[in-house]
Structure 1
Amino acid sequence: MTEANLIAKWNGKEYKLDFQVDQSIKQLKEYLYEITQVSPSKQKLIGLVKGKLPPDETLIKDLKLKATHQFIMMGTVDEDIIKDQSDLDVVNDLDIDYRTTTSPIKDPANQLALHKTISQGKKLLVLDLDYTLFDCKSTANHIMQLARPGLHEMLTVLAPYYEYCIWSQTSWRWLEAKITELGMLTHPEYQISFVLDITFMFSITGKKKRHQVKALEIIWNKLPQFGPHNTIHVDDLSRNFAFNPQSGLKITPFKNALSNTGDKELWKLCKYLLQLTLVDDFKTMDHRNWKEFDGPAPQISYCLYDKLCGGDKGSPKMLDIEIFHEKQEGQLCAQHAINNLLQGSYFTAVDLSSIAQQLDQEELQTLEAQTNFQSSNYDDSGFFSVQVVARALQVFGLELLPYGSSDPIAKYANTNPESQSAYICNLDQHWFAIRKFGNVNTRFYNLNSTFPEPKHITETYLGMFLLQIKTEGYSIFIVNGELPTSDADQQAMLNPIPQKIQQYDSEGDLEKAIKMSMGQTEEDDDLQRAIKESMMDVGNDEESLALAMSASLKDQGNYSSNPQSSSTNTSVPIERLPELPMDEMRRKRLERFGQ
């Protein structure tokens, strides 16, 4: 056993401590001091062992404790108790009111030398550690599993522009261990300039409690090239900005690391800090609105971007922080495909059901009120027909064109698939979208809701991929019209270089697509002929769309709720969706998103 699960009870609260068994009672007291501010000399640990407490140098493993052991800590502090940080999900931004009698610059405890040569011309980024860069309370096999997603990537991107200071509200022993195990001290792509621990902090008394703060003047006094004009302090606790509120940027705390792998706060922060490098005076900025800032950013060099693409497979990279991606819920893939295409939660299942009901009413009128009518536009499973998808996209001035139709746009797309902005694909009631971002041909992404995140499709692979899924039976539709712009479009224009780590070019799929396109199978002649026919037959998809869109318009007899049902009734061909008033739906969409 390498860890002891200790539960300390104090002041009516329980503190779960995942403590290493090869650490001492003294270290346990120091840790308790960090979270309660009860000094070790005032602590009494009752129930940790039977009888008198052994000397402080005694190791936890020598106490022979149970796997989970509870004890009571007694002790008081002079001022109000500092709250356990794990409870500080919401911090009052007004809690920076304070009074103090000692200047942080004159405090002898803060007159320590900083031993790192600092480059001229860079700005200063001061970063908190616990809950800002990693989850300090969850348990994992290795501390790297608790690192906030994007930690090393962000620091790599910003290294040419910032000097880094890590300032943690923990003792030096813990600070050194954490940043070492997280790989921050030895990372080959960036360097930590200097670190500050809890000894560089001091207590102030606010309106309701006494708490410690981080005064940036301590740094500015030692390094006069830095000041409020070029320093940014990132922390999950706004009260740490008491002395320098204008230099503080509060981000959400990072918790539950093992289940919160989709956290993208650092990627959003990275974008803002890049934009901040082009701001001459940080004092002109209101960091409270950092997520809404939309300023210019420096171009990232190819070499640096290539380094970013060398991270762990699946970790989000620059562009993907802005891609809206709904994941699969039930059978609502049509809803997800539409929203992923439009890059926003524009439609709910209720919205699409309303469209389906409207289509049903139109079909009933056409069929002169058949008594045994059943809808083929939607069902209880969450399925929605192509008519519903097409009608929803009409709200945004978009239309569906079959990929293999005789329309000039479709003909051109067959030989130049990258010329189109987006595609929607369907097979056996499953829908997914493929979209280009920033009108950059190297920025196509498969937004399939069954994927945990968008997958990049290279410009070369796009045509082969469409051919592959077509031979598998998918119906492919071109989305014709101007798509709504998104943050990802802006990011794609700034960074058009493909992200190798997320390209949809896994060896198996790519090899399969290449073999299909070249006919390299056991049945060479048959496959070559099939591929040629699929490339030449431009009428089938147009006919398929007409059949699908008119599937519910039956002449007489039985009606099936399954659009794939083998009905013998004759379908009524439809060339285009009817142009029906959708003003109310458009108004609802615009109101929802404040446009």
Structure 2
Amino acid sequence: MESIFHERQEGSLCAQHCLNNLLQGEYFSPVELSFIAQQLDEEERMRMAEGGMSSEEYRTFLQQPSGNMDDSGFFSIQVISNALKVWGLELILFNSPEYQRLGIDPINEKSFICNYKEHWFTVRKLGKQWFNLNSLLTGPELISDTYLALFLAQLQQEGYSIFVVKGDLPDCEADQLLQMVRVQQIQRPKLIGEETAQSRDQRLQKSNLDQAVEVNHPFDGTGMLDEDEENFQKALALSRHEIDMEDEEADLRRAIQLSMQGDHQNEFSGSVSRSISQSTSTSLTESLSSEELRRRRQAYFEKQQQQLQQQEHTSNLHDKPTTSSDALGMDPGGDMSEEDMLQAAMNMSLESVRNHLNTEEKK
């Protein structure tokens, strides 16, 4: 149907669209139709002047607006009829009893012009098929031969005035093409108002959908996570932190054992370096230093020695039960066993780790 000329409605220029759709081309413009309307107005004025320019009827006629056109773009049936006379075409009222008595089958006609409440549109035969070329439609509407009579009868019932176009219409490409082929219409065209409303509803639905997506999944260019995923990431990070703490504690135990066994400084340093590379925290680096362990152990032993000397002034040492803390109060080079020294160093280091973890939790 692309070859069929079809002007869609603009303003109130339905008379122009009706004529151009009938003739299948841009034959008339508003300026040309306005000129025809002015000619008709002048002819009417001259007829009224014949009865006397001073008569009441003439003065009343001059005060009335034109009946052939208005500012909205409406043109009368007289304008349309005079425009068609240029092409040798004539209009006959299809609704008239005189024409109905002729009993002519509408299928045998070539075209009709329909009018209702100042709206004009064309129904024309192109090739061997009929089409409704109403400018209020989004495109030509195919009308079957069996439906044509019912369609015209429905228009009459709705109050339309129907005019039969008599004469030879100008040749057009659509008529020549449809003489050879027949077309099928799968989807009927909509009214322009319905198409506009549907398009607006679709845009509104799309806008509402975009807003809903924006609310449920906001995106500000920073890759922001929603609440559930953010909580999951927090739990995962906490789990990794706990695992790292356990690994650090195990590394600390191994470091203490290496230190107490008298391993070389470079071997212990390598173990500490490996521990640091596997851990996500570097805050325990100082506690893993063998030099720091020996320094803290020495300070611990000296403190215990001072406490032991003070207690000897108040009580007899042999009367008290022997405890691990008393054993640690001995001279580190005396009767204190290597196992007790290892246990004391481990307790001291673990206490340092706990203090560090408590500090981190408070932060």
TM-score with structure 2 length normalisation?
Answer: 0.48
Considering fraction of residues, name the structure with more strand. 1
**Higher Cα Rg: structure 1 or 2?**
2
